[in-house]
Amino acid sequence: METVLVTGGQGRSGRWLVDRLAGDYDVVCVDYDQPGFEVSERPHVGFRAADLTDRGQALDLLSDVAPDAVVHWAAIPAPTRHPGGRVFETNLLAAYNVLVGAGRAGARTVWASSESTYGWAFAREKTLPDELPITESHSMRPEDPYGTSKVAAEEVAKMVTRRYDVPVTSVRPSWIQYPGEYACRDVAREGLEGGAGNFWSYVDVRDVASLVASALDAPPEGHEAVHAAAADNYLGRPTVDAVEEFFGSRPDDCTLTGESSALSTAKAGELFDWAPQHTWREAEDEAVEGPSLLAE
């Protein structure tokens, strides 16, 4: 059985990835802390503690584990709760260290980029995209340290594919939601303002996990960036109607219809035969117990 190293695996979305991959792989879950020797690990899940911004620790760990695959999910997930410099440095240093270590190990890699690379989510003034639906070729214009760290890390990913000839997939998730806890629906009830920064798109964590698994199973040639988004918006009304109501216009390049997500997932479908399976209509009140990484 192959080994996959998952960073940030004890985090809120990371544990869903570990849960999805365990059994198909032996998973090494890496985070700042490990749960302790007194606990029992579930089958095919082990734990390592490391500060991935420390190059020595990160490269030593990857050299020791020698994984077949790497999922880099560890990051400060937004620019609003830490000083900007800390966000940028933490995310970029960890990405550099892990991606380079994965390249040296010859490991195919999937990592968490973000829709924030485009610049809308944390922009001071909300603006229209150049196109609807938004494709991965849209220009990236971040004005915050989080989105900028992801743009820079995607350049690192491209460098790694060139230098080490390994495949790297940059997944750009939309706002990740959890079954039975769809915060986006609370935003929807308050009006259009709160969600206009990503044009009311979202993605279920289970769909993110399935995309990561698919990208590991059938890695691309070189580097590819793909969206992870639900098929629809979370408003329950046509997306372009909401865009026109909030912004007063629509992009000239607009072929979006119905309640379809502003973020196109066609590329992920073409590369990995992946399509989102979950929608807020069922998942908002769905009773699903979150995964545990420890033995029962």
- Residue 42: what pLDDT? 87
Residue spans of the chain under pLDDT 70: none
Does the pTM of the predicted model rise above 0.85? yes
pLDDT digits (tens, 9 = 90+) for 168-195: 999 999 999 999 999 999 999 999 999 9
- Look at residue 154 in the predicted model and tell me its pLDDT: 98
Instruction: With CA atoms as reference, report the closest residue to 111 among 155, 48, 141, 163.
Output: 155
Cβ partners under 8 Å of residue 139, min gap 6: 118, 130
Top-tier CATH class for 3-283: alpha beta
List the one residue out of 166, 145, 47, 15 whose CA is nearest residue 88.
Answer: 145
